């Protein structure tokens, strides 16, 4: 079972994102989520995002976020918490408000205070800031960038530290795995936070990857080390590896397994790589087909909860 193997191999956990609705309606789905030998860590797929927790200003709801937090509590699994400051799934009262630095600082502080205090003591790590770099390698445009420039990077981490001093504070993004312009900009982001004297403990590599286009184990490890050499932990936080076209040929299933092994293997190769999280574990509920139409089958269990070649491949590298 993957978490048991991962822990024996020196990682802190092997984990999964939890779909809030599937976990309540599909008992076969829930049974595997609740198996700590398989998944030693969980993260809410949507329930802790701003649109879920503060849909209108000052009105906080934790019903959805608590689903996964309670699963973690019952099973003794690590909880990764996701996410505080993000341009997406951000309610329009924030994204379309007309803010000054002072008023948006206060909005961020109220949000971060309420959400972090609600989950205090429960989160192994918090994704404080999500996807602040664009794919081009520019800063991601958002209401936060427009009001603060890059000052909202250290601001977010300082506020997070203030309201939960004991959790690991992460920057989290995708396509950092390719070690290109976007990766360079994420390095700059970490430097900006550190130079401002703000706390950052880790960088999350989402790893929404594509079968046949996943970097080699050695290249992935090199990229992870660019960050760990700055004194932060790293983790794979949202791993899935999608087929570019469906149905996948049998050779593509083998390639997918090798790609999974390269990602997990690279985490084993890097001292401060703490763990690997898949973004859901079954093709039955993956976000991929609706977001990247025509692609999919990106996970390690099929739609009938059968283990795929990718599962076997991960288990043998661990």
Tell which positions 67-86 bind ligand XIL, by CB under 6 A: none
Count of residues near ligand XIL by CB under 6 A: 6
Give the residue with the Cβ less far from ligand XIL, 14 or 287: 287
Residue nearer to ligand XIL on the CB measure, 23 or 315: 23
Between 28 and 67, how does the x/- string for binding to ligand XIL read (CB under 6 A)?
-----------------xx---------------------
Q: Which is nearer to ligand XIL, 45 or 233 (CB)?
A: 45
To the nearest whole angstrom, how small is the minimum distance from the Cβ of residue 277 to ligand XIL? Answer: 11
Min dist. Cβ of residue 298 to ligand XIL (A) = 11
Interatomic CA distance for residues 192 and 151, integer angstroms:
9
Among 50, 287, 301, 311, which residue interacts with ligand XIL (rule: CB under 6 A)?
Answer: 287
Distances (CA, A) of 126 to 49, 120, 294, 305: 12, 11, 32, 29
Q: Which of 206, 214, 256, 313 binds ligand XIL (CB under 6 A)?
A: 206
Beta strands (DSSP E) in the chain are 13-18, 41-44, 78-86, 125-130, 168-173, 202-205, 208-210, 233-242, 273-278
- Subset of 145-204 contacting ligand XIL (CB under 6 A): none
Active site annotation includes 177: no
8 Å CB contact between 36 and 3: yes
Return the number of the residue (45 or 259) whose C-beta is nearest ligand XIL. 45
Contacts of 251 (CB under 8 A, 6+ apart): none
Q: How far apart are CA 278 and CA 39, in angstroms?
A: 10
CA count, 13 A, side-chain hemisphere, 27: 0
Question: Applying CB under 6 A, does 130 fall inside the site for ligand XIL?
Answer: yes
Tell me if residue 131 is catalytic.
yes
Residue 127 CB, nearest approach to ligand XIL (Å): 7
Residues numbered 238-257 forming contacts with ligand XIL, rule: CB under 6 A: 238
Cα–Cα dist 141/87, whole Å: 8
Element of type H or E holding 252: helix 250-269
The DSSP bridge pattern shows strands 78-86 and 168-173 to be unpaired
Cβ at position 195, least distance to ligand XIL in Å: 25
Indicate which residue of 20, 45, 131, 177 is catalytic.
Answer: 131
CA distance 183 to 175: 8
Phi then psi dihedrals of residue 158, to 5 deg: -65, -40
What is the smallest separation between the CB atom of 65 and ligand XIL, expressed in angstroms?
13
- Least Å from the CB of residue 189 to ligand XIL: 16
Active site residues: 131, 238
Site residues (vs ligand XIL, CB under 6 A): 45-46, 130, 206, 238, 287
């Amino acid at each position: 079972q993957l978490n048991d193997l991962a822990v024996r191999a020196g990682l802190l956990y092997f984990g999964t994102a939890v779909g809030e609705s599937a976990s309540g309606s599909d008992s076969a789905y829930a049974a595997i989520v609740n198996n700590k030998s398989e998944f030693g860590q969980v993260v809410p797929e949507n329930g802790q995002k701003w649109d879920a927790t503060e849909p209108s200003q000052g009105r906080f709801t934790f019903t959805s976020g608590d689903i996964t937090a309670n699963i973690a509590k019952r099973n003794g699994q690590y909880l990764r918490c996701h996410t505080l400051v993000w341009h997406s799934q951000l309610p329009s009262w924030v994204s379309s408000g007309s803010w000054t630095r002072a008023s948006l600082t206060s909005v961020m502080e109220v949000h971060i205070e309420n959400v972090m205090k609600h989950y205090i003591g429960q989160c192994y790590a918090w994704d404080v800031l999500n996807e602040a770099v664009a794919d081009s390698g520019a800063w991601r445009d958002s209401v936060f960038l427009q009001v603060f420039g890059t000052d909202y990077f250290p601001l977010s981490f300082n506020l997070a530290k203030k309201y939960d001093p004991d959790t690991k504070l992460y920057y989290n993004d995708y396509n950092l795995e390719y070690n290109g312009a976007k990766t360079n900009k994420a390095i700059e982001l970490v430097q900006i936070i550190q130079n401002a004297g703000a706390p950052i403990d880790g960088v999350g590599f989402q790893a929404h990857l594509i079968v046949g286009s996943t970097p080699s184990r050695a290249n992935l490890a090199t990229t992870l080390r660019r960050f760990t050499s700055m004194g932060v932990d790293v983790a794979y936080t949202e791993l899935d590896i999608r087929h570019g076209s469906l149905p996948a040929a049998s050779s593509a299933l083998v390639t997918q397994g090798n790609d999974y092994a390269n990602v997990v293997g690279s985490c084993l190769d890097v001292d401060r790589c703490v763990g690997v999280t898949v973004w859901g574990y079954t093709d039955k509920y993956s976000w991929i087909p609706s977001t990247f139409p025509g692609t999919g089958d990106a996970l390690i269990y099929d739609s009938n909860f059968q283990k795929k070649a990718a599962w076997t491949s991960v288990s043998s590298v661990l």
